[in-house]
Structure 1
């Protein structure tokens, strides 16, 4: 019971209790950015590469939710795709559009499956702690955001604990969750997405022609994550009861997108833009299929480390 994960959650529960008390005396609305559709649109356009489907769906979903004065349920987004394709990055973009401190806001709560819930034998303890954590934070600040990373590795019983908070209930134990945002990040469904994009490429279609319903992509993601026994989503009531608003595919990145990531990292490190250097770093990344080498195996993950080897 005394492991690092439990201590972390217990300490944060104390902090949550303290916050809920102090919020009775201090208004926290000043921590929210006035929602700006154009700002979110620009951020997605300028800092997200190769993900036109995710960009479009997130823009519409978040904008519609944030401008709805009386939402009927929390916003629930599920991001699917391989590593390094932008799932975490888009979560941060959403946070930047809502909170003045962006992803560093005290109202953005990130859970990583294997870090925060590592021991199967402590499932019941985790369930209790997670319920208390969500309840305490939303009761003190309704516009809270919860990000669950590695959902495909999370215990299905723990996932189902989240279910009541995502439903259409006006209130649970006196608290409304309808203004909260839940974002699930997962590699599950990545093979389905990769196959759709590869088939489209082989048929000579433009990448930008792909949409959510292209080749039944969203439906096949839904089926894949629901039926995969190795996934935490396996037969999950979150999916079975249709509480996830959007299953959003993140496409495998191509060389040109990796190159954009390299240039962005050069700017972040105050390195003078250099097309030759960007090309060398992008070419140094692994690609698939083995013969054609069209899509990046790791997306933009480790681009920064590769760049540092070349300077």
Structure 2
């Protein structure tokens, strides 16, 4: 100090101005930092040129800091915002830029939907298809139709009482169990319904005295009892057409009878039965007339009918087959099929009438069957059935002697005559 005067103090800068200038410096630094970070990110992308030609960001930052200091003058650096220089990692660009770039590549995870605690959670409701209901309805209708059809089949069979017919045949026919089973099977299948595509033709073939005509009489008696009206025709060729010269008249008579019966039966929804015995004595013209009714291409009333043809044609074939194959190792079913096939071939060669026929062969009767015929006839005539007497009567007949037993040559043909002599 000179002359006692105080030395001039330097002018103090207001604290508010210092703070505002420091804030502005920090803001400028942050802007520079953002610009440098963007340029750094662009340079790190693939395809860009190397960063070796550009100055380092740290050098640029130091240069900018030195410029700001010169502008601020004597403003100490300590008055600047302490947080801007406290953490130098904010001004290193390598790690943050690289991590931010990697974060952008990651996919954002979908946020989990949180439900409030007070709300109720429900599973998604399944929508029921209306097609299922239609399908169930269709199945129910089909099942109902099937049950109704089964009931109708039972009603038709009950109308003809085939169970009663089977019992009658089992009691009244001896030694022909396989033939009776075949007849009942054919009748059950045909009489189960009223609509058919062709008539049923059954041919009884075999030697004399084995029960063919007897079965025909039992069938006629049964169907007359179960069907109201005249829907059964028993036609004996030697009785209805004894003279071969009356061929045209016989054909016309048979045609009228068949036409009348099938017409009336169709009105009442019943199936007529035609039993024609002694077919082997029919003339060719009468066979042709009968054959015309067996064709499948006819009106509906002619298709719903049963024809039973009884003849001794093929009797010798049946006898030969039975005697030759009595000790065969074939099963009874197999032997019966072969016998039916051989007789059918013989019948077709005789006339085309038998092409559509179901052949039921009647085999030879054994001695035990002959004894049963005597017993049944004696009981029917009122005689006491003495076993010794029956054996004596059965021994008077002629038989084929084989290893399997004795078979009657004439069957039960002479039984009635023997009993009448008692």
SS for the counterpart of 1:260 is helix
Larger Rg: 2
After superposition, the CA RMSD in angstroms is 2.8
Name stretches of at least 5 consecutive residues in structure 2 with no aligned partner. Answer: 1-156
Matches within 5 A, 1:105-184: 106-142=230-266, 143-171=271-299, 176-184=301-309
CA distance in 2, matches of 1:212, 1:62: 22
TM-score by length of structure 2 reads: 0.57
Query: What residue is the counterpart of 1:243 in the other structure?
Result: 356
- Asked if 1 retains the 8 angstrom alpha-carbon contact of 2:197 and 2:303, the reply is yes
1:189 aligns with 2:326: no
Matches within 5 A, 1:24-63: 34-63=159-188
CA distance in 2, matches of 1:66, 1:191: 32
CA distance in 1, matches of 2:395, 2:310: 28
CA displacement at 1:35 relative to structure 2: 2.3
Q: Deviations over 1:28-86 (max 9, x none)?
A: xxxx9822332222222221111122111101011111112322222211000111111
Structure 1 segments (4+ residues) deviating >4 Å: 289-293
- Asked if 2 retains the 8 angstrom alpha-carbon contact of 1:197 and 1:251, the reply is yes
Quick one: structure 1 residues 51 and 212, their matched pair in 2 at CA, closer, same or farther if it must change by over 3 Å? farther
SS for the counterpart of 2:410 is coil
Give 1:85's match in structure 2, choosing from 210, 215, 219. 210
- Asked if 1 retains the 8 angstrom alpha-carbon contact of 2:194 and 2:304, the reply is no
Query: What residue is the counterpart of 2:378 in the other structure?
Result: 266
- Asked if 2 retains the 8 angstrom alpha-carbon contact of 1:189 and 1:221, the reply is yes
Name stretches of at least 5 consecutive residues in structure 1 with no aligned partner. Answer: 1-31, 228-233
Give 1:298's match in structure 2, choosing from 403, 406, 410. 410
CA displacement at 1:199 relative to structure 2: 1.3
Query: What residue is the counterpart of 1:224 in the other structure?
Result: 346
CA distance in 2, matches of 1:110, 1:294: 34
Quick one: structure 1 residues 205 and 51, their matched pair in 2 at CA, closer, same or farther if it must change by over 3 Å? farther
SS for the counterpart of 2:303 is coil
Give 2:390's match in structure 1, choosing from 255, 266, 278. 278
Q: Deviations over 1:203-254 (max 9, x none)?
A: 2669xx5337547211210222233xxxxxx2x2323xx321x111000111
CA distance in 2, matches of 1:292, 1:66: 38
CA distance in 1, matches of 2:335, 2:196: 25
Tell which has more relative contact order, 1 or 2 (C-alpha 8 A, sep 6+): 1
Give 1:95's match in structure 2, choosing from 217, 220, 225. 220
1:307 aligns with 2:419: yes
Quick one: structure 1 residues 127 and 39, their matched pair in 2 at CA, closer, same or farther if it must change by over 3 Å? same
CA displacement at 1:170 relative to structure 2: 4.8
Q: Deviations over 1:168-223 (max 9, x none)?
A: 2351xxx612332111111011111111111122x2669xx533754721121022
- Asked if 2 retains the 8 angstrom alpha-carbon contact of 1:144 and 1:180, the reply is yes
CA distance in 1, matches of 2:406, 2:329: 14
